[in-house]
Amino acid sequence: MVAVNAPTLVGLLAVGAVGAAGQEDLLTMVTHAGPVVQGVLYLLVFFSIASWGIILYKARQIRRARRVSDRFIEGFWETKNLTTIHAASQEMSDSPVAQVFRAGYQELVRLTRAKRQAEDAQLSTELGGVDNVERAMRRAATQQLTELERALTFLATTASASPFIGLFGTVWGIMHAFLGLSATQSSTIQAVAPGIAEALIATATGLFAAIPAVVAYNSFARQIRVLSAEMDNFAFEFLNIAERHFLK
């Protein structure tokens, strides 16, 4: 059994009491702040909660998109049958690359079927060829990027606007604290210190909301660029295959 001497125990209790008192003081400052500062704080808390919800959702979405896309690309190069690959891609709705392949494959099937019917009827076979497939895949890639980038605007807005909203609350609170000096007989720092402390909480809350948002936005933007490059590279490879073997 470890012995704890009295001075150490007293010191630990004192530190705990100071921490609890600090939390109570912080809560008291928030509850006693002016209506404008409180409104700023509530707005920033909303931004922070919404940002964390988006961060968790986008992290899961992008991580799954990369994992499923890697599995699809690996299966695509291991399997020689496009029909089999298309059937497998229907179960990979979370993969942007798989959706780009599906769009290109469906357009390729439509073109080859129309070409065969035109040849049987001895008609012209000028049906657009590889350009149609490219447009279909580019359109699908754009749709996938739009889905991946959804809600990132809110993170960017939070990252850029939250510090300024917090600064507005701080400036307003400090202005209100100094205006309150006219109603008191004292002009010392002790008279305005509580008001300034309450106002500074707004700036701290703004930074608390903005920092995770800007870090997450930059990380997600980089990962989406990687997925976009994977879709472009796959589209080029698929177009080469289609042009060599199906659209001669």
Instruction: Give a yes or no: residue 5 inside a domain.
Output: no
Q: Is the pLDDT of residue 17 over 50?
A: no
129-162 pLDDT, tens digit per residue, is 788 889 999 999 999 999 999 999 999 999 999 9
- Mean of the pLDDT values across residues 11-28? 46
Instruction: Give a yes or no: residue 7 inside a domain.
Output: no
Instruction: Give a yes or no: residue 18 inside a domain.
Output: no
Q: Is the pLDDT of residue 219 over 90?
A: yes
Q: How would residue 69 be classed by pLDDT, with cut points 50, 70 and 90?
A: very high
Instruction: Give a yes or no: residue 212 inside a domain.
Output: yes
pLDDT for res 37? 82
pTM of the model: 0.78
Q: How would residue 35 be classed by pLDDT, with cut points 50, 70 and 90?
A: confident
- Render the chain in DSSP notation, one character per residue: -----HHHHHHHHHHHHHHHHHHHHHHHHHHTS-HHHHHHHHHHHHHHHHHHHHHHHHHHHHHHHHHHHHHHHHHHHH---HHHHHHHHTT-TT-HHHHHHHHHHHHHHHHHHHHHHHHHTT----S-THHHHHHHHHHHHHHHHHHHTTTHHHHHHHHHHHHHHHHHHHHHHHHHHHHGGGGSS--SHHHHHHHHHHHHHHHHHHHHHHHHHHHHHHHHHHHHHHHHHHHHHHHHHHHHHHHHHT--
Q: How many domains does the chain have?
A: 1
- Mean of the pLDDT values across residues 10-21? 39
Instruction: Give a yes or no: residue 158 inside a domain.
Output: yes
Instruction: Give a yes or no: residue 101 inside a domain.
Output: yes
Q: Is the pLDDT of residue 215 over 70?
A: yes
Containing domain of residue 177, as a range? 34-245
Instruction: Give a yes or no: residue 11 inside a domain.
Output: no
pLDDT for res 12? 40
Instruction: Give a yes or no: residue 15 inside a domain.
Output: no
- Mean of the pLDDT values across residues 75-92? 88
- Mean of the pLDDT values across residues 35-57? 92
pLDDT for res 16? 42
